[in-house]
């Protein structure tokens, strides 16, 4: 998939990666997201790191912006 002149990984984001990004988009920290999802903080950070890598993003905010632009967060219930 092409995004902003760069090709991003075609590997889709996992449901957990998308969930974590959705909570970041809502302004939640990794700790708050871990409480909401019942995961450890380190697990949430790993999901966010994986999502950033797949999207070619430099930070969580950048990953959220790219995911929204690519319509990857719209299908989360």
pLDDT per position as a tens digit, 14-31: 999 999 999 999 999 999
pLDDT at 3: 55
Rounded to two decimals, what is the model's pTM?
0.83
pLDDT per position as a tens digit, 29-63: 999 999 999 999 999 999 999 999 999 999 999 99
Domains in the chain with CATH codes = 14-69 (1.10.10.10)
pLDDT at 75: 64
**8 Å CB contact between 36 and 23:** yes
The separation between the first and the last C-alpha atoms of the chain, rounded to the nearest angstrom, is: 23
Distance (Å, whole) CA 37 – CA 4? 31
């Amino acid at each position: 998939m092409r995004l902003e002149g760069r090709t991003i990984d075609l590997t889709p984001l996992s449901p957990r990666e998308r969930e974590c990004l959705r909570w970041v988009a809502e302004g939640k920290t990794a700790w708050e997201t871990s409480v909401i999802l019942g995961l450890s903080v380190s697990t949430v950070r790993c999901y966010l790191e994986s999502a950033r890598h797949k999207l070619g993003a430099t930070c969580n905010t950048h990953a959220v912006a790219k995911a929204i632009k690519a319509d990857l967060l719209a299908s989360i219930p």
